[in-house]
Structures are given as C-alpha cells and as structure tokens.
Amino acid sequence: MGNNNNGQTLIETILYVLILGIIIIVTTTILVDLISTQNKITTIANANDTIRISMKEITQTVEDGYQVLTPNPTNTTTNDLIVQTDSGGDKIMFYSSNGIIYSQYDNNTPEQISSSNIYTYDLSFSEEANTGISPTILVNITESNVGTSGIITKKTYETTATQRRQ
C-alpha cells in the first residue's frame, strides 16, 4: 500500500504565506497612494474654489463700486484695494495678512475671505486701464495649497474688473 499523504508540507505553507504577504503589501501600497492622490486633488479643488470665490467677491465689489480709490494711475501697483461703495463715502478694503485674504468695511472688524489652508504669497492690484470714469483693475493672487504633507502647488490667478458706474 502506498503512502497517501493529503496534507501540505511546511515549504508549501511558507510559500502560500509569502505569496499572500506580497499581495497584501502591494494592495496596501496602492491603496495608500490612491488615498494620498485623492487628498491632493481635494485640497487643490478646495483651494481653486476658495480663490475663485475670493476673486468673485473682489471683482463684484469693483464692478458695483462707486469709486475705486486705490490703485490709481499714480499708484500703479498696491497690495490693497480700496473701493468706495456708495456716494456716502463708505469704503471696503481688500488686503492680505499672514497669507490670508481679508475684506474690511470702513473701520469694522476684518472678515476672512480665503481659507486658512491656502497661503497667499502675493495679492496685488493695479490699474490696467482708465477710460475716464471707469477704471479697470487687474487682480493678481499667487497662492499655494498647503496639504498634510506640506506645499502641494503654487499657482497665480489673474482677473480684471471694470467699474460699471459711468
């Protein structure tokens, strides 16, 4: 009678465990990279949304404003924008401090309009064109997206706004 051994040898068991271990390591690495990439994409998308909203608020204020006080033709580039919002002299100022963009009505408390996860390297305003009464203001924002692993991207956004009041 022959030896009928249906069990596994120690070498076969070690090979199965080794192959299973390699599959688990590869799968885990792929999942970690996938989650990291998804976090970067989400951070960049949130930054783009925040900058878009900030720029929309700035351009809307210029377009609806009564008078743009700074910048002006003699002050070609400034780091703050002051717009007189009505004929009564009420003003709003946009500026960057410690990497965050703020708006401030008259002498009230400043209101943060950009996210704390976005660092604004540069916020500048310049008068691109002045057709007599309606100036066109060029708005530049250079920012970086700060994720959990540090700076992800650095990008410059640019838009123009023309005062509608004639």
What would the pLDDT profile of 59-110 be if each residue is shown by its tens digit? 999 999 988 888 876 667 788 899 998 888 899 999 998 888 999 998 899 9
Lowest mean pLDDT among 10-14, 45-49, 131-135, 156-160: 131-135
Does the pTM of the predicted model rise above 0.75?
A: no
Rounded to whole angstroms, the Cα distance separating 152 from 125 reads 25
User: What's the chain's average pLDDT?
Assistant: 84
Give the pairing of strands 100-105 and 80-84.
unpaired
Give the range of the structural domain holding residue 75, as residue numbers without chain letter. Answer: 10-162
Tell whether 130 is covered by a domain: yes
Quick check: is 3 in a domain? Answer: no
CA atoms within 13 A on the CB side of 125: 28
Does 152 map to a domain? yes
As given in the structure block, the two tokens for residue 158 are 């640019």
Let me know if residue 146 belongs to a domain: yes
| 41 in a structural domain | yes
* DSSP for residue 72: B
pLDDT for 143 equals 83
Q: Report the alpha-carbon distance of residue 95 to residue 125 in Å, rounded.
A: 10
Instruction: For residue 51, tell me if it sits in a domain.
Output: yes
Domain count, the chain: 1
- Does residue 1 lie in a domain region? no
Residue 73 included in any domain? yes
